[in-house]
Structure 1
């Protein structure tokens, strides 16, 4: 069993900047989860993750699912600003629950996977995504779980240009700085990458390249390849691919608890 409610975490956009919280009624796991939806940064919503959030809440995890401002009305780095504020709010929730503030795992799909990965790449001294309301500059998650993530913005896709506000050719340095692949320094939290080998939106090749670069940098990274699976498969707990993903997540979380 669980209780659920919704809060606004940023007054500048009370429609999109909202979080759904799912609080278990039983003893809490020591790690909480923050889900970030996909949709090419221009569609989708926090409700997409409800079934998965409920699955983990029923197993003792304090769980949150966040929305954020959407392109093309709001362009990069607005979405980074929003998820940093959302992470700040979930860390506050952890404190209220008696959990360690830093033990929040970020989980995202596609562009939400991108945002989860970017949270892991931004250190407290960086200005990217900083707004007046961001008081806690340490917004790196305890671990990161990415379903079919966008790991590089060098995709030459219209939805990426709408998110960035211009083409790669005229904004090359910004594109590179905004890509998780090119921000790996070492010291990032552990990653779990869930990727279908029939994905034509975010390719297995790109995800493998990201995984390998994490390993070279000394970062713990696991790659779970789902055969015959396309893009955006993660929003649920009923299909074979979703079941395999959830089992991989449970194993990953078990290891994080033991850290």
Structure 2
């Protein structure tokens, strides 16, 4: 019957897994031993990144109740951590990709992965330093300044996404441009990679420039300044604060509110 065949297939799969699992685990142990330092460094920076992101998120949510001492402390720790990692690998291939230069030598596959992972994590941590400085600068602000803080943090985030998308390019460019595979093959794979990378970066470039334009006084991600006619049509009374409009903003939904009210809202 079909049920007996299914049981037989499951038993065969279980037997195959039982046979191959010890060998797979053995290979994994050997792989970890060969890349022991890189393995533990990757775990360490990932753990630090996870904890740092959690602390920064909590401080951002506190708004005016942020603790300056905590912000200064984590900023110093972030700077020391990033500087320490790059100092430990000052003779490695980590620095050149940061300025969009390919490594001097063709990196082995796992080394290329390591370089990309470390640089990506350190760049994210560096962006956290910038965000901490912004949070300290805008610590006791509200209204228009609070909106500007949000726009600055958004700009930093979109620039980070764009830079992170470009960061692996020098490493993979050098990896694919390997003449040992033949000039035609290496040129073809390199060209295909750069084409794929370009198409994936276009959207991030657009998002970055959109957030950059949002810093202007006439364009916001939630609307624009309302004209006197639009204010008169809305009744010149803010529905949030129940007072006369002050620096009215016309939202995309066509409602008009005070700029400070919208920023806090």
TM-score range, shorter chain: under 0.3
Which has a greater percent of helix?
Answer: 2
Q: Which protein has the bigger strand share?
A: 1
Structure with greater Cα Rg: 2
Normalising by the residue count of structure 1, what TM-score does the alignment of the two structures yield? 0.27
Alignment TM-score, normalising by the size of structure 2: 0.27
